[in-house]
Structures are given as C-alpha cells and as structure tokens.
Structure 1
Amino acid sequence: MTCILRHLGMKSLRSKFFLLILVPVIIVLAFLETRNYRTARNLLIEQMDKTARNYIWAASESLSGNISAIRTLLRLEAISENITAKSDAERHRLFVTLTRRLGPAVTSVYMGYPDGRMIRGATTALPANYDPRLRPWYQGALQLSEGTMDGVTSPYIDAGSGHPTITFFRKVVHADQSFVGVLGVDIDVEVASKSLTAEHPAPPGGLKSLVKSDGTILIHVDPAMVGTNINSIDDPLHKHLSKDIRKLELASQQYMEKRQDTMWFGGFHRAEGTDLVLVFMVPADSILKPLNRLHIEMIGFGTALVVLLIVLLVLMLRKITFPLLMLTRSAVRISHNGSYQDPLDVNSRDEVGKLTRAFNSMMEGLRQRDFIRETFGRYVTKEVVEQLLETPDGLKLGGESREVTIMLSDLRGFTPLTEHLEPDQVVNLLNRYFGEMESIISVHQGTINEFLGDAILTFFGAPVHHADHAQKAVSCAVAMQLAMRDFNTRNEAIGLSPLSMGIGINTGNVIVGNIGSQNRAKYGVVGHTINLTSRVEGSAMGGQVLITESTFEKIRLNIETRGTRTINLKGVDQGVTIYDVKAVTKPTPLELPDEEPAADSLAKPIPVDVHVMENKEVGAEPMQGLLTSFSPTWACVILSGEIEIAREVRLDIPNPASEKPVGVYARIASLNQGPKGFAHWVRLSYLPPETEHLIQHLSRKPI
C-alpha cells in the first residue's frame, strides 16, 4: 500500500488517511454487495428452478389428465361401438353431445369408416370430395403397430375449420379384432394454446408449448411455429431441449441457456403415458428483475453510505490533521530559519492534544536552547556550547588530561594607549580587535578560553579533538599577525595610533573540562603548559609569533623560522628554546614580513630614562641612556649596562613643555657592546602622538 501511495504521489497525511480508510471501506462494501447479490441470485434461481419444476409438473399433469380423459372417451366409445350396435343417427347425437362437453378446444368428435362414410359431431360443412380415409388421423390409425390402439397426429389444416389441428385417434375393432373404423377427436391448436396459457399462465414474457417426443411442435403461442421441429430453432436453449426431449428416459429437465442473445430459463416435462412433452421457458431478466432492482437499490444505498463516509472522513481528518498540519508548519519554520511562534492551541485531550502540548514544550525548550546558544556563545566557542547542550554530562564539573596547543596573544602598548582615550573609545577599539581575531580563531577551530584585558587565551584540540591542533594554532597566529596591518590602517584612519601584537604558542598536556563550582563554572584549561605559554608570549615583540620546541616538533615540516634562541624564564629551571616563526606552508601558505632594526640617527642624542617593566609595572630604579636612533617602529638606546632580550621597557623622554616626561613603550630586540656602552635596539610598542614632534625638537633635526 505504501508503494501504491508513493506511486500515486500521495504525500500529505490527510490524503493518505483518506485513501487508507475510504478504499478498504469501498472494497468491503463492493465485496459484500457482490457476494450478497450472487447469493441472492443463486437462491432465486434455485427457487425458480423448484417453482418452474412444480409449474411444469402441474401443467403436464393437467395436460396428461386432459389427454387421459380424451383417450378414455375414445376407448369408451370404441367399446360402446363394439358392444352396442348403434345407428348412425344415434352416433351423430352422441358425437354432438361430446363435442359440446369437451370444451372450446375440441372442434369435433367423429368416426370414419372403411367405406368412406364419416359421422361427426361438428356442424361445419366438409368439402364435397372429402374422404376420411385420406386424412392423417385415419392413416395414422392404420399405421399403428400391433397392440397399439391410439395415437395423435402432427398438426395439419382441418378440412372443415381451416385451422391448425391435431387429432387424437383410436382404432375401433370388433371382438374378433376385425377393423371397424377410426374414432377421432379434433383439437384446435390456437384455442388449445390459449386454454393452456389461461389454465396455467406463464410469467411475463414466458412461453409454453406442446411438442412430440421427436421434437415436432404441436401447440405454440406463435401459430407459425406449429408443425415445425424444435431442432430447427438455432439457439443454444432449443438445441439443448431438442437433444434431451428425444431421450425418452428423461422425464423432465431444466436449463439456463441463451435464447436470442439473452439468458433464458427453460425446461420440459413429459405427459405421463403419452408421446407428448410440455415445454416451458421464461427470460432470466424477468426472474432476476426484482433482484436487479434490489441490487440497484443496494448500490444507491452503498453510494449514499460512501458519500456520508466521505463527509465524516473530511470532518474527522480535518479535526485530526489540522493540528498536525500546524505542527508540521511550525516544525518546518523552526528547522529552516529558526523562527519560533506562540504556543499552538490545544483543543483536545486525545493523542493529538498530547502531541501538541509536547510540541509546545519542545518548542519552548528549543527556544531556550537557542537563546542559551546565542547568548552563551558570545562568551565561549560554538564547540563548547554544543558540548554543553548536547552532551548529557556536558554541564558536570570535572575534566580530563589531554594534549592541546595553547596560544596567548597580547597587544603591545595598549595600556598606555588607553590613558589617552575615552572609555567608549577603549571599549570600541577592543571590541573591533576581539571581533576580527575571534573570526580568525573560529576559522582555525580554536577555542577561546577567555579574554584577559587585551590578551586572548586560546587552545586548540579541545573540546573537539584535532590531530593537527599544533598546525592549526600556528597558522591561526600567523593569520592574526597579518590581519593587524588592515586593523592598524583602519585605526590610523580614525586618528588612533597603530598597535602591535605578540603571540606565544606552546603544546603540552593540560587538564581540560568544566572548572568552577556548582553555581558558577567555565569550560577551560589549567596546567603548567599555560604558564609556559604566558612566559613565551612575554618574550615576543610586536608582530612576532614565538613557539616552543614541543610545538615546533609537531609541525617542523610545515613551518619556516627565522631562528631560535634559548631563554631563561621565571619559574622554569632549564632554558627554554623558542622559535621565531616566519611562515607556514600548510594548510594555506602564509608568511610574515621581515622586520630588521632600522632607524635614522639623531643629530643630537637625547638623554632618556629606561625603566625595565615587571608584569607591566615600572621598575623602581631607571637606567640612564642616550637615544641615538629613532623611527616610528625602531629605536636605539645606549646604556651602560645590558638588559636581556625580549624584556619590556619604557623610555622616558624629557618634555620641556611639561614636568612629566613622554613615555614610549618598547621591547629589547637585540644588543651590541660598543665603545660607549651597550647599544640596545628596541621594537617600539606604543608611541604617544606627540613623540615624533618632541624628538624632532630635541634633536634639532627632522626625522
């Protein structure tokens, strides 16, 4: 049935319900109607068979009685003729009396003699040349076999009346068996046919006839058929009748055969003790007409029932499918565009009502889930949100040890920059920066653990495991550094100083999971790997990406570096080898521009105080030095002592217009010992707006 519905293109639940209910009902009704019709038809035919059998039997018995009466009359007359010698006048009176008493079908009682005389009871005149010895009845009597005394003629035209006639005759003999004459009774075929029909009327359209055992028709409603043989009628019913009538051992038989291209019911019964057979036939339609009328009425009733059922089905299916249709439309809207609507009305307490209530609850749950995903996703990554929402234990406290790659990025010189900006400018700047960096991190499937001021702590390989988490982290870092150029271009367009960013990356085992309390928790990582990453990030200058050896070993075939150096980090017993990333070759080739220390020499060195920064705090005692070279990105400072590479420093430049010096933030990039001291090349992190003009004024030379 499912294949049929699919083939018919039935897609809606309403049409499927309609067909699945209506079609079986129609099939059952049709089956019951057909079965009942066939049963009633068979019963009716069986009853008709019994009725017809009784009818033919009764008619044949009546016919047999009449024939027996005629034969008895003939026998009595013959005996009377043999016993009593009557005069011709007496015989004439007797024949007249008998003719009147035997009914309208008997036209004459008479007797023919060998000498050509004839005494008859009829008053009609005979032809002048009439000779009884030449008549069929006389000839038939003479041709009777020995021991047979009576018989009946085939139909012939009566010489007196001119009507088709059959004659029952008896041979009359003396006691010594000498021939006396032939006694006969004429039966008018037309009158006898009417009498036979009136005495035992056939159903409408029915036919009765009297035939001889050889098939010759003696009496028929159609006079033209009298005298013909039943075998001459070319239809299955008459052929069957003709064949069985000749079987003298068959007393009666019934059939259902075709006659004149329609079905007829027919049969025959032999008149006992005679050579005569009564044939009866009636159209089957006349028998089945009441049944057909009942059949039509039942079809009408069934049609009305189907129409009523259709109306009830439409009403019922509308009540059932309308809520389902509303559920479907709501589900489609939620599935396609996440569009939620007000809860659906619940108008019943049945299964559909329960389903609607459950759908409303589910829709509200989805609405809340999407709200959580949308809101919570602003604070943690999409992967974390999905894990929290879809994993049964997603919100349970606890974690697991897993190897991940940690990336920490931090803006250089952002803190002093904020001192020159309004709060809304600071927030706007950070939001734009975080927005651009977050997009890049998402593309590389990183998980932002948290924003730490202007820093971003990100890890790769959790909660979704990626075998190439180290490659993703380094590629992400290079892409972030390249994105800073466009970011600074937009900053300069709105009057802001350019910013630079340092990035440190480390790979190692951490504890990752839900960390916190039952009231407040976050998905994050803890472990020594994070601390080491922070130290590496602190060694990176603006525009640099530094990675540890553990990260390098995982991607060494897909990376280019500018070099390595070993640094001693606070809290780490041994020196740490770090690699300065220049480019990555997979999955997308990316390359950072080279930045060599370069600056214009000042005509007049400027004395500066150099403060070594400790955790972004100014150290206690500054070092005095001379600023000998300067550009917006690089500067060279001569100091009597050395400051280790990668340390953050602040250069305080005296400002004649103010007692407060101008502070320039930088990181030590390299140092060389010369005759005047240690030359420290520094990568500038933050340059206050007035710095260039101040240096130009102090050095008395344009930069």
Structure 2
Amino acid sequence: MGLKGRGFASLRLRLIFYLLLPVSLLLVGLGVAGFFYARGYLMEGLRQTSLLGLQRAAHSIDMRLAQPGEAVDLLNSLEGLSQATIGDWEKHLAGLPGVARVKLDWLGEAQESQRPMMGGRGGWLDRGMHRVALSRVTNPRFDTSSGQQTVSLVFDLQDQEKKPAGRLEVAVRFAYLLEGLKVFEQWKGERSFLVDSTGRVLAQGGGSRHLERLGAEGDPFEVQVLEALLTKPAGTLVGPGRPAEEVAGFYRLQKAPWTLVLFARGDKVLGPIRSFMRHYIVAGAAAVALVVLIILVVTGKVAGAVRTVCQAARRVARGDYVEVPTPKSRDEFRRLADSFNTMVEGLKQKDYLRDTFSRYVDPQVARRLMSRPEATALGGDKRLVAIMMTDVRGFTPLAERLSPEQTITIINRYLSVLIEVISAGQGIIVDFLGDSLLAFFDSLENGPRRAAEQAVCCALELRRATEDFNQQMRSEGLPDLATGIGLHAGEVVVGNIGSFTRTKYGIVGGPVNLTNRIQAQAEGGEIIASQAVVELIGPELKVTRGFEALLKGVEGQVQLYALLDLPSCQPQGQE
C-alpha cells in the first residue's frame, strides 16, 4: 500500500478512534448512570409503596379496633349505663362485627349499689357514667368460651364523682382484626409480621418463616428494625449489601400497641434493571458496529473528494486556476467543491485587480487595497475623498504640429512622470483621458483632512515635476507642456466598476464632474482648489487668490482658490 493508501487508512483510524471513543464513553456513562439512578429510584419507590401499604393495613385494623369504643361512647352519651340499659349495652356490643363476648365487672361502691339497681329506679347506676375510656388492648390469647383467639378491649368506667366504678371488657376475635390485612397485598407474598411493643410476633404473613420474636435468631437487620420501631411510629430501612438484599418498613397502630412490619426483597427491584442492562449492552454493541460500518463507507467517499481537491490545489499553486468537478449531491462535498471553485474565481479576480492596481497605484497602496474584502467584489462604499484632475493646456494644437510618433512619445513620457508622482503621493489613478488624468486620495485609513493634504501636496509636487520635465524637453528641442490641475473633496462611491471580465477600481459621483469643471478654470501651471479642500486643511494652506466662478451644471457662483503652497508638504524623496 502506498503513502496515499496509508494516509486514507489513518484517516479512517482517526475517525474510528475519535468517534467511537466518545460514543462508547457516552453509552457506558449513560448505562452506569441510568443503572444507579433507576436502582435508587425503584428502591425508593419500593420503600414508599411498602410504607403506604403498611399505613393502609394499620388503618384498617385501627378502624376495626375502634368500633367497640365508638359504640360505647355513643351508648353512654345517648342513654347512660343504668339497670334498664345494661341489657341493651350488652346486646348492642355483642352484635358488633367480630365481638366474641362482653363482660362488665363492678368495683367498690358500684358493686354494693347493685341491690338498689335491681330494686328499681334511683339506684347508683341510674346516675350514669361520667366517663368510659379505653385503657388497654391485650395481646391475642385463646378464649375457652369462644374456642378461638381473641383480643380484649378493656374500658375503665368512672362515676359522676370521677371515681373508678367498673371495667368493661369487649373480646374481639383476632381473626376478624386480621381480615383488615386483606387490603395489604404484600401480607401473603412477603415477609410480614404484626408484633407487639416488645417485638413479639402476634401474626405473620404467608411468605414469612415462623418467628417467635423479631431478631430472636440473631438477624442483624431484624434487630435494627426492632430498635427502630421501638423509637419511631413509622419508617423504612435499607438492609445490607449494594444493592440492598432487603428493604424493611414498619407502621405502628394507633388503637393498639402493635406494629406492622414488612420485609421486601431487593432483587424484585434489580431484576428488571438487570434485564434492561443486558438489552442495553446488546443495543450498544450493535450501535458501535453500525458506526464503524458507516465510517468505513463514508471515509471512502471523503478520501475521493479530498484527493480531487488536493490535486486541484496543487495546480492552483502553480498558477493553473482549475476548478474541481461539482458533485451531483447537495451535501458537504458539494459545498466544498463550490467553495473551492469560488476561491479559484476570487484568486483570478485578485490577480486581475493586482495587475490593474499595479499599473496606476504605488505597490504599497495596492497591497493595502487588496487587503480589504471589498476590493475584490463589484460595488463599493460611499465616502468622502479628495479628487484630482489634470489636463495639458493647448495640447491639441501642439499635437497638430508634431508627428504622431513625437506626440505619443511626449505624452507617454509626461504621463509616466504623473504616474510616478501620484503613486508616491498615495494617490489612486482612476483613468487616463487622452492628455488628462483622474486620480483620488482615499480617506478610509487616515480621514478626510489627511486625504485633502495628500491631494494638495501631490498637486504641488506635480507642478514642480512638470517644470523639471519642461527643462528636459527644452534641452531636446521639444516644446514645454503647461498643465492645469483641479482639486475638490466630496462624497463619491468608491469601488470596483465594470463587470467580472473588465473592472477598474475607481470613483463615481457628482464631485467627479465638479472636479473636471474646477480643473477647467486653471491656467497652465496653476492649481485651483474648491472651498471644500480649503476648509478641510484650514489656514495652513497658502493661496494666491480667491475668486468666484460660474461652472457648467452648477447653480450659482462657486468659490475657488489658486493654491500657492502647503508648508507641511515635504518634497517626495525626502519623506
């Protein structure tokens, strides 16, 4: 394989490395972050769901435990406890759901007053109870009279003097209370317990191994749960392991000193997550393989496009401005080809402009112009510039006396002097009109005042150079040339004028025509400037005379000045 082949292969390797590395890291990072987030979210959801289920189950048991107490309070508030109502009380309480038996025991004075109670009205019981309060709820125990486990709800009775009068015991079937756990779905499927305040197991769910007491077998997590339920009414705990093997929740009943406890397995949460991770890894591997395949296909196309552009670039570097073929597709390769071809057209245009500028402009000025983006495009900007126009006075009669060869020789030699002076003075020559010349001095870099000063200094230097030229002409037996110079400053459009096939960098606008009219007012060897030029430079500019003139195409008199000198000007070659 050659160098080119190895180069393209390295491009593929770089693309594979720089694309696959972040993609792989992203996939791994998302997978790990998603795993931990989902695990934490689901574990928290399991804790909250378990706690909510425990709360509902505890509330259901509390409601069943509260029924006898609510009935006792209602009976006491409606008719009180008397000889006439004892039977009603016992009958009503015994008829409540889950009640196995009802027993009333009297204490002290109440016991002695049973005889009057039996004899008729006016006895102690006729006065009613001042207060009937639930004092305790016993743990489940076997009731021989009913033949099943019951829970006793013991109510303390107080007389009107708030003295203990008796004790009412309502035995409720424990199985009836446990029916409230039907709302608790985890009771049959998870490790679940109903324990008393010491951790003794009163009942346990279908998924639980038999325990006498929480932590009796030395399970550290059960001991931790027991310690927590002794200090808090409700809560959740996460067991050991990462991830946790178990999550526990507990909720204390309000009507009895009992607590519902649930142990849920952590793998119920992690099972779906692990299944997702397996599918995620398979999908990630498939995505990586697909990326590699796409890179191998695309880089072949990229290599071909790069090879074509490289070959064309080498030819452009040699000066052969060739264009690359434009692909039919509308993707980046099409834009690359269009951009390259646009660059080639720009280079062609710049070469043309550079050649054009170099004929009329000092090379340093040409380089500054070429450095501006607007110099290579048609169109321009409107700004204030200083304009100069020169014309040789009486040249037409002079040309009639000379041969064509002499005429061309003289005018070319003289224009060469003008071009040299204007280029050295930072001027930009726009056009030659026979023996006339149009140039301007741009204000883009140094401002309008400096542009006007450059124009005046250049005009003064042209007058001096013309005198030197005439001395040389006289030594050769040729006639003198008398040049009139006009100066003006105004806003014009500066830019490339023409088409892509023929362009010149120049100025357009009314001030150009006005400069031509001002130049016509100058005698041979005279420099005439407008009021705008004089105002830009100020009193430093010395003039020989000021006058008003009527100019063609201009309304009213125009103030003009014949220039003498500008002390700040330095002769060219001494700057």
TM-score normalised according to structure 2 size: 0.40
Point out the structure with max Rg over C-alpha: 1
Higher strand share: 1
Higher helix share: 2
Higher-RCO chain (CA-CA 8 Å, sequence separation at least 6): 2
